[in-house]
Structure 1
Amino acid sequence: MYAFNAFSYNTLITDNKISEYEDCNDKDNNSDFTDTFNTTSISSEPPVDIDGKFQLYFDGVDDYVEDASLLSGWQEVSLMAWVKIDPSGPMFQTIVGQDNFSLLLVFNRLVVKTNGSSISTPMILPSNQWVHISATYSNIENRLKLYVNGEEVNNIYLNGGPLNTDSTPFYVGRRYYGPDEWHFKGHIDEVRLFNKALSNEQIQKIVYQEIENNGNVRGTEIPINISSLSWSNLIRYYRFDSYRGNITDNLTTPAIDTGTGATLHNIATSQIVPQSAPMPFVTQRSGSLDAAVENTADGVNGDDVITYDWSIVRVEHNNVTYSSRQTHLGLIINENDASSNPIEYHVTNDSELNVSWYLKLDGFIDLEGESQLVQGEDSILDSASIGKIERDQQGTADTYTYNYWSSPVKMQNSASNNFRVMDVMKDGSDPNNPININFSSSGYDGAATSPIKIADYWIWKYANLPTNTYSAWQHIRKTGTILPGEGFTMKGPGTGSITTPQNYVFSGKPNNGDINLTLAANNDYLVGNPYPSAIDAHEFIRDNGPTLDYDNTPVPDSTPLISGTLYFWNHWGGGSHYLQDYQGGYATYNFSGAVAAAYKGSNHPDVAPGGAPTKKPGRYIPIGQAFFVTGENPGTINFNNGQRVFKTEDNSSVFIRSAFNNTTPTSETNNTDDGDDRMKFRIGFNSVNTIRRQLLLTIDDNATPGVDWAYDGKLNETQIDDMFWVINTDAYIIQASNEADINTTYPLGIKTDMDGINSIMIDALENVPDDFNVYLHDIELDVYHDLRASNYDIFLNEGEYLDRFEITFGTPEQVLGIDDQIASHIDVLYSNTIEKIVLVNPNQLHVKSMTLYNMLGQSVYTINNIAQRNYSEYKISNLNVGTYIIKLQTETGSLVTKKVLIK
C-alpha cells in the first residue's frame, strides 16, 4: 500500500466516519450538504425516454446513481468503469461501489477499499483524460488487485474471507456513510460489476470496447467471446446509453429497465452527454497513429494507443503511419475515408505491427522496409476482410540463379486459399509503385525491362514427393496452384549479377493462423514461411516433431513428423541454365545451430571465383523464405501463429539470396550466436576441386554421441568433393553430442573426385576455451595434427575415405604422450591424375631412397634425392599399366612398402 505525506488514509478510508480531513472535500469549504436521495433526476420536467451513445457527468456536489445492495458476502468480485476526472473536484471522491467494496479517488490516486483493507495506485490519475479503472478481489486466491487502463498496478495478499455482509446501496458517484458522501466530479461511463475475479487477460480484452451477451461475454468491436467469462457472471452493466425517466438501463437484463432499477439523483438532462471514451480508439486525422487518435477536447490521450498492448484501434483516415513497435488487441482498417478515398496505413522504419487478437482489414497496410505484421496465437483475420498488405523482399537479380520463395499473402478478394505466383508477386523496382510482372511463357531468360520480365519456365514446386528425386519436381509456371505454406522456385530477371538484389513486392490478403500440409514418410516437401513476419525455426521444428520434455528431449514412444533439420538452397554460381553447370548447395539448420552451404571457391572462404560465398541461416526464418523438410513419419506439417516473431534480417534472420556475404569467418572466435553459449566446433574442408564445406559439432547436454532427433543433420546433396561426420555409417553435416574429452572421437568421411591435396581446418570455435585442443587424427598415418596450430593438408587419391579421419580433443601431453612412435609414419601413393608418385611426410622424416618394383620383383626406377617436406611429388615416365610396389628406405633403416595401381 502506498502512503501519502498529506495524511494517513487507512483510518480515513476504513472507518465509517468522516475524518479530520473531511473539510477538504467541500469545494466551497462547506460540509453542510443536504441529502437529496429523493430529488427527481434528469430534469424537473416529466420523465422522458432517451437512447443513444452517452456518458454521465457528475457535478461533485450531489449527483449520484443508486441501485440495490449487491455485494454482500461475495467470494469474488470485479468492478470497473471509465472515468474522466474534473480537475476542480474535491480531494476525496467515491467513484463506484458500496461500503464493503468500492473504488475511491483520494488526492487523485485510485484506491480500492474492502473488508477493512485498501490499496492505491502508485501514480496520480490524470485529469480531463479518460482512464479505465478496475479492481478485483478473490477469496480463492486471497488477492486484492488494482488496475489502470487494464494494467495491474498494485496487489496485496488478503486472508479476509468473502466480502463483508453489507446492506448499503450500490452507488455510482458517492458513498453511503457519513454526512459527507464524497461525491465524484467528472464523467463516468461503462460501469461493470462481475461476481468473478477476472484475470488480467479478461480485463484487457474488455477495456477498450463495449460488451454484449452471446451466452458468454463478447466484445462489440471484436466479435469474439471472452474465454471462460459467462454473461451470467455480469451482475450489473451500466452503459449510460438508455434512460426511462430517472432510471438508467442495466444491460444484464434483456429489456430496458423502467420504473425500478438504477436511479439517477440530481442529474439533469444536460449532464447526459455524447460518449467519448476510447472504445475503441478512432483516428481523427492523418499522421502518426498516436497523434491521429489524440482528441484532447474529448479526453482521449493518443499515447495510450501505443502504451497499452491491448488497445483496440479503428483507422478511418488515409495515410495514418507509425514508425516504431505497436501492439494492439484489435485493429480495424476501413476501406475508405469519409471522402471515399482508399485508406492506406503505413508501418515504417522497419517496425513491428502486432495484432494479438483480431484484425479486420478492408483497407491497405504497407509494411515498408523490413516492417512486419505479427498476429498472436489466438489472433484471427476477419474472413470478411477485403483489404490487402504489401511487403517487399529481395531476391537475386541474376538470370540463371534460383531463389526458393514462399508467399506471405494469398490472392485478395478470393474465397480460395490457393494462389498463383502471378497473383501475389509484383515488380518492386520502385517500392512505392509496384507494378505487375511480365511473366513470359516463352524462352528461358528474364529481362531488365519495365516491368521486369520473368521467365515462368523456372517456377517449380516440390510438394510431398520422394526424397531427392530430381524428376519429381512439379512444373507450375505462373498459373500453377500453390498452397499457403508451400515453397516455389523462380529465377531473376537479369537486372544485375548474382549478388545484386532485385526487389519484389508481395501484395494480397495476409496469411494467418494454422496452415497445414500433408507429408508422407521419406518424402521431401519444399515449404516456406507463410506469414508477413519472421518465424522461429525452433518452434516450427518442435511443432512438427515428437512430444518434447521441458529440456527439448523427445518423450519415449512419441514420433516426429519431420527429420528435425531444415535445408535452405543457396544457388551460388554457374552462369547457365544447364543443370550440369549449376553451382549450389543446401545450408542446414536444427537445434544444434546452422551451417552454410558448400560452395566452390579458393583456399580462403571469403573469396570465391566462379561463385559467391554462401550464407549461414539463422534461427528466425525471414518473410518469403522457402526451405526443405523431410518426412520421418506420415502426418501434417503445421505452421501456426505461435511460431511468428518480429525479427528484422541480420545474422539470426537471413534470407538466402546471395545478395551479400554472410560466411562464417575462418578465424577462431568465441562469439555467441543469438545468446547460444554452447561449445561449437566449426570444422572446414577445402577440397582438391576447391569445394568449401563446413561441418558443425555442438556440445549439448540433451544430445548423445549417437543420432539425436533435431540435433544431428544429415547430408542431403551430392557435391563433387565433400566431407561429413560419420554416425552409424550415415553422412551428417551437423552433429551434436554431450561429450568432448580426451577419449572422445568424432569420425569424418571424405570423398574426392580426383587426386590431389585436401585441407582440413578449424573455420571457427565458439565458446571453446583457449586451452582446449582440437586434433585431426589421421588413422592410417597415426598422426595427431593440432588444428589450432595449422590446417591439415593431405594428398588423397580419388575415392571415399570413411574410416581414416576423426576429430579428437585433449592436451599434447595426454594425446601425443601415449606413444612417441604414432607420429613417425609416412605414406606414399601414385596419382594417376597427375601421373606422379606422391610422398606424404607430415613429420618431415629423412627418407634416403625410394624404389619402384614391378610385380616380378624387378626394380624399374630409383630416386635417391628425396625432398624433406610435408609432401612431395615425383614424375616417373614410360611406365606400363599395371601394379607396382613402392619401397621407401628411411635414415633409421625402416622400410615403408606400398602397392599402387598405374592406369
Structure 2
Amino acid sequence: MKNLTIFLFIFFSLAPKVTFSQLYVGQNSYLCVTGRFVYETKNITIEDNTLNALYGKIYLRYDGQLLQGNSGASANSGTGNLSVFQEGTADKFQYNYWCSPVGSTTPSSGNGNFWIDHLYAPSTFTASSISTETSGEDGTATPLTISNAWIFRFLQTFFYEGWSATNSTERIEAGEGFTMKGSGSSGDVNHTTVAGVENNPDGSHQRYDFRGRPNSGNTPVFVKSGMLTLTGNPYPSAIDLADFLTNESNCTGIAYFWEQNKTVSGTHHLADYVGGYGTFSPATGYVQAQYFHLDPEFPNVMIYYSPAQYGENFRRSFTPIGQGFFIEGTTNGSVTMKDEYRRYVPEGYTNYSQFDRMAGGSNPSYKKQFLTAIASPKEINYIERFEKQVPEIRLNILQDKKLMRELSLAFNNQATAKIDRAMDARLVSNTDTDNYFVLENNKEFAINVLPFEMDAKIPLGFRNKKAANYKLGIKFLQDFDLSEHIYLHDKLSDKFYDLKNEACELNLPAGVNNNQFEITFSRDILSTNPINGQNICILQDNTIKSVLIANPNLLPLSSIVIYDMGGKIIYTQDSPEPRIQYEINTANLSSGVYIVKLKSTVGSDFNTKINVTN
C-alpha cells in the first residue's frame, strides 16, 4: 500500500506537465486510484502480465474514477484490464439495469463488447474470482454464478415483446444497456471485507468487479422515432445526465429508470412484479432536474399539502458507473455518448449520483463545496444550476387505494403549451389504470412544463379498464406563489376542487376520460383579452372576497379603477408597482356588477365586468 501511495503522488505531480502523452500501464506496473480521479486527455494502454495477476491493471477503489478527453472514437488498447466495483441487488428475483463500463480486450484498440464473464467477485483489495454462468433461473452468491436467463437488451421498440434475450454468442456492445437479476437473496454469504468495507452487511447487495478494457470516446446509441432504447453510462466515471439529454437532439431529452419494490419478492412471474419507471427531465431546459417514481404499493394514505412537508425528492442529475436507463428516439439515427459528458462525482444520496435508490430520505441540502469540486472537461457552474429552482406543483393521485401516480407541473417562460424536448416527459406506464397530463393529440405525459398563465386550463386525463376510485391532492409545492388557488375543475358538473386545502375524490366509470377534468387557477375568468398581445386576466373570486388581476408579463399600468354600474368610482390606484398578480379586497362592496378598468402606459385601456356576491 505504501508503494501505491507513492506511485499516485508521482503520477499526479507529473500529469499536468505531460499534456500530450497517453497513459501507459506496463506488464510490471499497475495504477491504483482511491478516492480521486485520473484525467487522461488522450488514450490509455494497459499491458497484461499473465504471470502476476496484480500487474497490468488499473484499479479504481473508494470512488476512484477515470476520465478521458477523447473527441472521437476510443483508441484505448492493450490486453490488460481496468477493475472497478459496483453494487447491485443480491435478490435473485429482482432486476438491475446495467450498462458496462468495460469491454473485451480482443480488438486491437477501441471499445470491446461485454459479456458477464467480465464480472468478478472481489476477495481482496486487488484479487477477484471470475463468475460463472448458468442457464437456470436462479444464480448463486458463492461461488458467484449469474443466471443468463435474465440477460435482456431492449433496442428501438416500445412494446414488451421488444425485450431481446442475449447470450455469450451475441455479446453486448458498448453503450447498450442490459438487465440482470441478483445472485441470491443472501448476497455474499462470506461477507468478504475489502480494505475495511464489508461487501454485504445487510444481505441486500452484491458487489461486482467489472474487469476489462475501459470504454471511452464517442459511443453511438441507436434510436428510432417514438421508440425506446435501453442504454446507460458506458464509462468508468459518472456522467452528467442533464448535459447528455439536453445536447443529444435525436432523443426526447427524457430518461426512464426502473423502480422495483424490494419488499415484494420470491417470484419470477411477471404478473407478480411490483414496479414502474421513474422519470428524469432537465425540466427547465438544462437547469433543474425533475425526478420521481411510481410506487404501486404506496400505503393507503394520501399526502396532503403542507408548506413544511416536501416529502421525498430524489435526483439523478449524475448517472453513476454501470447505471442503465431508457431513452426515446425522435428520429431514426443515433445519439452519442461522449467523453465530454463525463464527470468526477462520487456516489452518494446528497451528491445526486446514486446507482440504486436508497430507502427513505428527504430533500438533500446543496453542498457548495461538493458542487464546486465536480471535475469536468468543460466549465459548468453547478452552483448556479442546482440553486435555481422553478415553480412546480407536484400532484399525488391514489388509484383504488393501492396505486400511486405522481405528476408534475413545472413553469418556465421558455416552454410552450406544446411538447418541448428535454422538458415534457411522456408517461411510461405498465398498468391498465393510470392518469396523466393530456398534451397534443391525447398523448399521455407525466411531466408538463409550460409558461404560467392565470387563465390556463391544463387537461388531466384518466384511463381505467374498469370503474375506479381516485384520490387526488398536492404532494408539495416548490417556489409556487404565482396563484392563490389551484383547482381541479370538473367541466361536466362545473365543480371546482380547491387542491391547496384538501384532496378530492373521484369515482369514474371504465374507459378513457381526457376531456372532463382540468387544472385551473381561477373559478370564474370573465375576460382574457390581451393588451398589445400581453396576457391580462381579471376575475372575481367571491370565496376570498377579492378581485384578482393577473399580469404575468409585468405590463406597466398607469392606474387600476373600479366603477359601479352608475359610473361612480369605487376604488382607484395610480401608478401601481408592476406585479404578477394584484389582489383588491371587495368585502365591503354591495352585491352586484362592477367594472374594472386598467390603463396601460404602453397601450390601450382594458375594461371588464365582475360580479360581486357578498
TM-score (norm: length of structure 2): 0.69
Checking the alignment, whether the CA contact within 8 Å between 1:686 and 1:759 is kept in structure 2 is: yes
Aligned CA distance change for structure 1 residues 285 and 398 (closer, same or farther; 3 Å): closer
Per-residue CA deviations over 1:805-824 (Å, capped at 9, x if unaligned) read 2222259999994577xxxx
More divergent stretch after superposition (616-625 vs 493-502): 493-502
Aligned CA distance change for structure 1 residues 360 and 656 (closer, same or farther; 3 Å): closer
| Amino acid in the other structure paired with 1:733 | A
Checking the alignment, whether the CA contact within 8 Å between 1:419 and 1:481 is kept in structure 2 is: yes
Correspondence 1:361 to 2:57: no
Partner of 2:205: 501
C-alpha RMSD of the superposition: 3.5
Per-residue CA deviations over 1:778-828 (Å, capped at 9, x if unaligned) read 3334333232222223333444332222222259999994577xxxxxxxx
Partner of 1:471: 161
Secondary structure in 2 matching 1:471: helix
| Amino acid in the other structure paired with 1:477 | N
1:133-532 → structure 2 map (5 Å cutoff): 286-289=4-7, 291-292=9-10, 304-305=13-14, 310-312=16-18, 330=21, 332-337=23-28, 343-349=29-35, 351-362=36-47, 363-378=56-71, 383-415=76-108, 417-428=111-122, 432-441=126-135, 443-448=136-141, 450-464=142-156, 466-467=157-158, 469-496=159-186, 500-532=204-236
How far did residue 368 of structure 1 move? 0.8
Correspondence 1:585 to 2:283: no
| Of 735, 740, 765, the match for 2:448 | 735
How far did residue 651 of structure 1 move? 5.2
| Amino acid in the other structure paired with 2:346 | T
Secondary structure in 2 matching 1:484: coil
How far did residue 474 of structure 1 move? 1.3
| Amino acid in the other structure paired with 1:404 | Y
More divergent stretch after superposition (405-414 vs 416-425): 416-425
| Of 398, 409, 421, the match for 1:686 | 398
Partner of 1:872: none
Per-residue CA deviations over 1:600-653 (Å, capped at 9, x if unaligned) read 1213489xxxxxx99845121211111122222111221111111112233564
Per-residue CA deviations over 1:469-498 (Å, capped at 9, x if unaligned) read 222321113553111000011011123499
Q: Distance in 1 between matches of 2:57 and 2:387?
A: 37
| Amino acid in the other structure paired with 1:597 | H
Secondary structure in 2 matching 1:580: helix
Aligned CA distance change for structure 1 residues 618 and 721 (closer, same or farther; 3 Å): same
Greater relative CO, 1 or 2 (CA 8 Å, sep 6+): 2
Correspondence 1:568 to 2:257: yes
Partner of 1:638: 336
Secondary structure in 1 matching 2:253: coil
Aligned CA distance change for structure 1 residues 458 and 355 (closer, same or farther; 3 Å): same
How far did residue 346 of structure 1 move? 1.7
Checking the alignment, whether the CA contact within 8 Å between 1:458 and 1:477 is kept in structure 2 is: no
How far did residue 534 of structure 1 move? 1.4
More divergent stretch after superposition (617-626 vs 802-811): 802-811
Per-residue CA deviations over 1:742-797 (Å, capped at 9, x if unaligned) read 21121111234554542112222222239743222233343332322222233334
Per-residue CA deviations over 1:129-184 (Å, capped at 9, x if unaligned) read xxxxxxxxxxxxxxxxxxxxxxxxxxxxxxxxxxxxxxxxxxxxxxxxxxxxxxxx
Per-residue CA deviations over 1:831-888 (Å, capped at 9, x if unaligned) read xxxxxxxxxxxxxxxxxxxxxxxxxxxxxxxxxxxxxxxxxxxxxxxxxxxxxxxxxx
Per-residue CA deviations over 1:730-753 (Å, capped at 9, x if unaligned) read 1101111112x3211211112345
More divergent stretch after superposition (402-411 vs 369-378): 369-378
Checking the alignment, whether the CA contact within 8 Å between 2:397 and 2:405 is kept in structure 1 is: yes
In the alignment of these two chains, the number of paired residues is: 474
Partner of 2:239: 535
Please tell me whether Structure 1 or Structure 2 has the larger radius of gyration of its CA atoms.
1
Secondary structure in 2 matching 1:702: coil
Partner of 1:785: 497
| Amino acid in the other structure paired with 2:64 | S
Checking the alignment, whether the CA contact within 8 Å between 2:152 and 2:180 is kept in structure 1 is: yes
Secondary structure in 2 matching 1:624: coil
Q: Distance in 1 between matches of 2:103 and 2:411?
A: 42
| Amino acid in the other structure paired with 2:144 | I
Q: Distance in 2 between matches of 1:641 and 1:700?
A: 30
Secondary structure in 1 matching 2:261: strand
Q: Distance in 1 between matches of 2:358 and 2:205?
A: 6
| Amino acid in the other structure paired with 2:97 | Y
Aligned CA distance change for structure 1 residues 615 and 511 (closer, same or farther; 3 Å): farther
Partner of 1:212: none
| Of 475, 486, 489, the match for 1:763 | 475
Which consecutive unaligned segments of at least 5 residues does structure 1 have? Answer: 1-283, 294-302, 313-327, 338-342, 546-560, 607-612, 666-670, 821-903
